């Protein structure tokens, strides 16, 4: 290792330490911060972001990058990522980065209030500011004038809106067709009508986390308005939420976030506080959260374990056996909330957001018209009318943080998860019987070895190719869904 | 306001925002951090401290200070403080500041473990590193070669070890004499023998906090190994702890920390994120915590309210009436733990620490010999033998954070509190009867108006003089103690 390389890595390490603190400060804002501290917090957040941005565009990084020599594949990957990030950050003026931090910190808090009051017009003014700032950021980043692509690239390097559209259109066709068949099915829907103590829900959520190998010495679980995962290495924190009538909201949000958390906890320790020390992209991140949540968590095997755990904890809750329970967990219905959506409808929720946020960023759609546009589109896609904002445009946290371009990575994650699951099943022949006794070890170990441990060493598609022996497509996901629901609904 | 002044204040504001985040990160470390994250945290803390230190010694601050003109008393006070801090920080090399942050973050965690295992030798190696670094810091700061004075000045500007010694010797005489009289008294000691549910203790602690006007919209209460207060403005957080056999540990730690918290919550909003936006010194800070805890919290009036609250919450806990309860709360005994000490012994605990830490910093006493020195001195001062480290040298958090020079500010705070209380009683004639119904408003309002609201506008002694009409001395405190205990023990 050259001294140039060492100096560069040292500067980078400090910046990543700061970024961790910044991320934990967001965690605090959503879990611990007193309600009256929002204004102060937005100033503090801005201060930290100003400093972090200045350090990220430190010209010394540019000088060192020109001279630094990588001596192996890991060093090469680190240099590539440091360079990519440096060149990206350099395009964003510090004042703009600071202002985005300040305004989104405040916007997040206003969103919490507006959501609890079901009042979009309370959120709209600050969302306008956020959109305006993110458009400025996109313009600064954009080479080709495609603002939305510039935003996408901060979550998934090289991802293009046009390619997503093609994929999404292909998926939509088969998903809608599947949904139509299901609604024509004569198999009766299983329904839940029971009150589930919220303290006990959290107890089960903690047990589930343990079953999925979450290391509580290196993380914690709390509650928040919107579930999320935060942190890396030895300090990874997830949140969930509870709803007395619907324990699956809590359990499957938990499993989803545990998927994210395991990715971060399982990254090779040697990558700690380096450019390889986080998940490589949001697409791959969501592949982990979604495969934990769906292919594993909603499988026949795992749900039979969960059924018995719930029977022990809550007593008879009106579901007679494992089979009925499996049908309940995988019931296809037109729900309002993305995070609670079944696997068939889920990607349609994403496509709605994708189209709306593209229009917002391009300027075709005004923030003031966003709620109406949401509700119209929702009716068109799901055939139900949104009656309150918290069931509609205010349900997700992302836009309050200015995270335009984040949503499509969920569907990308589903696509990657489809590929990984196809391969996992080939490799782990006893998967179903293991899951049925709550043993996720062979699945999680396989994901750890093939995906998680590598951190950012491989590019997203490269990682999937390496693991699955072919380029990722939506085929495995759609095949998996069609087979699963054919069985469930006797199609 | 000149543009020079404005630029300076803007730079200062960002640094204070960062400092707030740093302080909250310490709060997180002691309340929320998973146990396995200590190493990572020490790296992150070091990164933030490196950045903060670099910004605090930014030469632009020096240039601006030379030209900036204050247009009123507030601006003048801000410039004075910015200049003082800048010149102080400039003397400390960034590498040293960073290393202190890294090592103390780790040392704090090792202290937690060592304390829980009653094993000083587990803590000693890292404490040696801390001492070594703090000696380097003191040498960098010191003009006159007095290392300990250099450390003192970071808590109480201009405070000198020699002056403290003179004060402490005078106090020791009267305190020991008072204690001797008490131990010769024939008044029987009231004892407690009951198990107090820890959940209910926290419920009462929250009620107490409300009674003392703590604003939960701008703060929160959690548990930690060692109680502390953290934060400023609209985000002030305190911690407490519970002990099933001794609820006063919880209640009086809470009241103490609420005193600190009210100082920070009540500072004039216009000082938010400026050089005036925090308590002016630790001495004044401790005057608030100690006057809340003792002169108000342990008064006849307030304890009679507390007695009735506890009776409601815990039922009959073996204390017959308000008078017996008042005697219990103010019982003088040779306890091991400083934070639980009665008002007579408390300052003797401080003097022990003051002498030991002076010897550690001067190099006369080695860390390896510290526990033995503690135990010997404790026997000499309190006539009881320390049998476990958590009752002795490991009881306090301060040294793990490198906070040498902090302890004497508790006694200084007691002295200031004595002065303030003398004046408060003159001003608020109905104090006793108000406290007896749990109404602290006139006391807390008086302290808010005379002390808290000013933040760092006045120097510590200036503030006391302004409020009390004379320079602070230990006389009022000692007079108060002698009168209180004369009555309690029929002396």
Chain B residues with a Cβ under 8 Å from any Cβ in chain A: 13-18, 20-21, 24-25, 28, 32-37, 39-41, 43-44, 46-48, 50-51, 55, 215-220, 233-235, 272-273
Where do the DSSP E strands lie in A84-177?
none
Q: Which two tokens stand for residue A473?
A: 């497509």
The answer to whether the CB of B166 falls within 8 A of the CB of B473 is no
Name which of B23, B51, B56 to mutate to probe chain A: the one with the most chain A Cβ atoms within 10 A of its Cβ.
B51
Cβ atoms within 10 Å, residue B426 = 10
Query: From CA B315, how far away is CA B308, in angstroms rounded?
Result: 10
pLDDT at site A1: 55
Q: A75 and A178 share a domain?
A: no
pLDDT at site B1: 56
- Answer whether residue A144 shows pLDDT above 90: no
A346 within some domain: yes
Residues 6+ positions from A199 with CB-CB distance below 8 Å = none
Given A113, A141, A169, which residue is the final one in a domain? Answer: A141
Strand B235-240 to strand A229-232: parallel, antiparallel, or no bridges (unpaired)? Answer: unpaired
B44 with A14: Cβ contact below 8 A: no
Tell me the nearest-neighbour CA distance from B55 into chain A, angstroms: 9
Q: Which two tokens stand for residue A319?
A: 């579901």
Q: B119 and B176 share a domain?
A: no
Q: B134 and B167 share a domain?
A: no
Q: Which residue of B has its CA nearest to A24?
A: B25
Q: B117 and B251 share a domain?
A: no
- Answer whether residue A406 shows pLDDT above 80: yes
Q: Which two tokens stand for residue B171?
A: 């106090």
Q: A104 and A225 share a domain?
A: no
A150 within some domain: no
Q: Which residue of A has its CA nearest to B24?
A: A25
Query: From CA B172, how far away is CA B175, in angstroms rounded?
Result: 5
Q: A244 and A290 share a domain?
A: yes
B21 with A233: Cβ contact below 8 A: no
Q: B353 and B463 share a domain?
A: yes
The answer to whether the CB of A300 falls within 8 A of the CB of A326 is yes
Q: B351 and B435 share a domain?
A: yes
B146 within some domain: no
Q: Whole domain around residue A28: which residue ranges?
A: 3-141
A40, A48, A73, A189, B491 from A45: Cα distances, Å:
9, 5, 36, 47, 58
Tell me the nearest-neighbour CA distance from A137 into chain B, angstroms: 22
The answer to whether the CB of A303 falls within 8 A of the CB of A190 is no
A149 within some domain: no
Given B79, B112, B141, which residue is the final one in a domain? Answer: B141
Rg (CA), chain A: 22
Name which of B34, B229, B273, B278 to mutate to probe chain A: the one with the most chain A Cβ atoms within 10 A of its Cβ.
B34
Average pLDDT of span A113-118? 97
Residue with tokens 């958090």: B397
Local structure of residue A292 (DSSP, 8 states):
I
Chain A residues with a Cβ under 8 Å from any Cβ in chain B: 13-18, 20-21, 24-25, 28, 32-37, 39-41, 43-44, 46-48, 50-51, 55, 215-220, 233-235, 272-273
A50 within some domain: yes
Q: How many domains does chain B have?
A: 2
Q: B175 and B111 share a domain?
A: no
Query: From CA A97, how far away is CA A120, in angstroms rounded?
Result: 26
Q: Residue B34: which of A48, A50, A220 has the nearest Cβ?
A: A220
Residues A409-464 have pLDDT tens digits of 999 999 999 999 999 999 999 999 999 999 999 999 999 999 999 999 999 999 99
Residues B347-377 have pLDDT tens digits of 999 999 999 999 999 999 999 999 999 999 9
Q: Where are the alpha helices (DSSP H) in A267-340?
A: 282-290, 300-314, 322-329
Instruction: Using an 8 Å CB-CB cutoff, list chain A residues near B235.
Output: 33-34, 36-37, 40-41
Residues 6+ positions from B85 with CB-CB distance below 8 Å = B56, B275
B418 within some domain: yes
Q: B135 and B166 share a domain?
A: no
pLDDT at site B145: 77
Residue with tokens 């808290």: B452
- Answer whether residue A84 shows pLDDT above 90: yes
Query: From CA A229, how far away is CA A260, in angstroms rounded?
Result: 6
Q: Which helix (H) or strand (E) holds A219?
A: strand A219-223
A153 within some domain: no
Name which of B26, B27, B36 to mutate to probe chain A: the one with the most chain A Cβ atoms within 10 A of its Cβ.
B36
Residues A279-306 have pLDDT tens digits of 999 999 999 999 999 999 999 999 999 9
B37 within some domain: yes
Q: Enter the pTM of the model.
A: 0.95
Strand A235-240 to strand B229-232: parallel, antiparallel, or no bridges (unpaired)? Answer: unpaired
pLDDT at site B25: 97
Query: From CA A438, how far away is CA A303, in angstroms rounded?
Result: 9
Among candidate residues A257, A286, A343, A403, the one labeled active-site is A257
B34 with A219: Cβ contact below 8 A: yes
A36 with B220: Cβ contact below 8 A: no
Spell out, as residue ranges, where chain B has pLDDT lower than 70. 1
Residues 6+ positions from A12 with CB-CB distance below 8 Å = A61, A78, A82, A274, A275
pLDDT at site B406: 97
pLDDT at site A143: 75
The answer to whether the CB of A397 falls within 8 A of the CB of A226 is yes
Question: What interface predicted TM-score (ipTM) does this complex get?
Answer: 0.94
B344: domain CATH number is 1.10.1370.30
Q: Could you tell me the strand order of the sheet in which B229-232 lies?
A: B219-223, B235-240, B229-232
Given B108, B141, B174, which residue is the final one in a domain? Answer: B141
A13 with B47: Cβ contact below 8 A: yes
Q: A125 and A171 share a domain?
A: no
A23, A108, A157, A224, B28 from A27: Cα distances, Å:
6, 12, 25, 9, 11
The answer to whether the CB of B211 falls within 8 A of the CB of B440 is yes
Among candidate residues B75, B85, B156, B257, the one labeled active-site is B257
B235 with A37: Cβ contact below 8 A: yes
Residues A43-58 have pLDDT tens digits of 999 999 999 999 999 9
Q: B41 and B183 share a domain?
A: no
Average pLDDT of span A238-265? 97
Query: From CA B172, how far away is CA B164, in angstroms rounded?
Result: 12
């Amino acid at each position: 290792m050259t001294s140039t390389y060492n100096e560069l890595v040292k500067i980078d390490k400090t910046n990543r330490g700061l970024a961790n603190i910044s991320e934990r400060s967001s965690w605090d804002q959503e879990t611990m911060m007193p309600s009256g501290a929002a204004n102060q917090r937005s100033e503090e957040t801005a201060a930290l972001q100003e400093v972090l941005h200045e350090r990220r565009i430190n010209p010394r990084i540019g000088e060192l990058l020109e001279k630094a020599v990588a001596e192996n594949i890991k060093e090469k990957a680190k240099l590539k990522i440091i360079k990519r990030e440096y060149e990206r950050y350099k395009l964003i003026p510090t004042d703009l980065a600071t202002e985005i931090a300040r305004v989104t910190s405040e916007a997040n808090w206003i969103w919490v209030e507006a959501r609890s009051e079901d009042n979009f017009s309370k959120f709209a003014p600050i969302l306008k500011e956020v959109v305006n700032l993110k458009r400025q950021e996109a313009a600064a980043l954009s080479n080709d004038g495609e603002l939305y692509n510039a935003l996408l690239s901060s979550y998934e390097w090289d991802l293009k809106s046009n390619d997503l559209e093609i994929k999404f259109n292909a998926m939509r066709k088969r998903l809608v067709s599947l949904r139509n068949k299901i609604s024509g099915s004569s198999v009766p829907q299983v329904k839940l009508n029971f009150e589930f103590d919220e303290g006990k829900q959290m107890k089960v959520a903690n047990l589930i986390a343990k079953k999925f190998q979450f290391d509580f010495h290196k993380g914690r679980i709390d509650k928040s308005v919107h579930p999320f995962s935060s942190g890396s290495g030895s300090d990874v924190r997830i949140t969930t939420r509870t709803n007395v009538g619907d324990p699956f909201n809590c359990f499957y949000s938990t499993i989803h976030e545990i998927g994210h958390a395991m990715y971060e906890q399982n990254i090779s320790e040697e990558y700690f506080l380096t450019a390889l020390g986080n998940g490589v992209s949001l697409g791959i991140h969501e592949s982990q959260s979604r495969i934990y949540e769906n292919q594993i968590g909603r499988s026949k095997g795992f749900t039979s374990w969960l059924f018995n755990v719930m029977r022990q904890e809550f007593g008879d809750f009106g579901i007679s056996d494992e089979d009925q329970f499996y049908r309940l967990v995988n019931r296809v219905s037109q729900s309002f909330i993305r995070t609670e959506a079944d696997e068939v409808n889920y990607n349609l929720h994403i496509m709605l957001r994708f189209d709306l946020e593209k229009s917002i960023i391009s300027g075709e759609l005004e923030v003031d018209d966003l709620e109406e546009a949401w509700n119209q589109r929702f009716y068109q896609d799901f055939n139900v009318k949104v009656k309150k904002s918290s069931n509609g445009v205010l349900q997700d946290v992302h836009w309050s943080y200015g995270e335009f371009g984040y949503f499509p990575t969920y569907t990308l994650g589903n696509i990657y998860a489809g590929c990984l699951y196809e391969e996992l099943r080939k490799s782990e022949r006893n998967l179903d019987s293991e899951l049925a006794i709550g043993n996720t070890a062979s699945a999680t170990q396989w994901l750890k070895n093939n995906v998680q441990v590598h951190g950012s060493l491989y590019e997203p598609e490269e990682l999937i190719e390496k693991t699955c022996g072919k380029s990722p497509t939506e085929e495995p996901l759609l095949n998996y869904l069609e087979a699963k629901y054919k069985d469930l609904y006797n199609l």
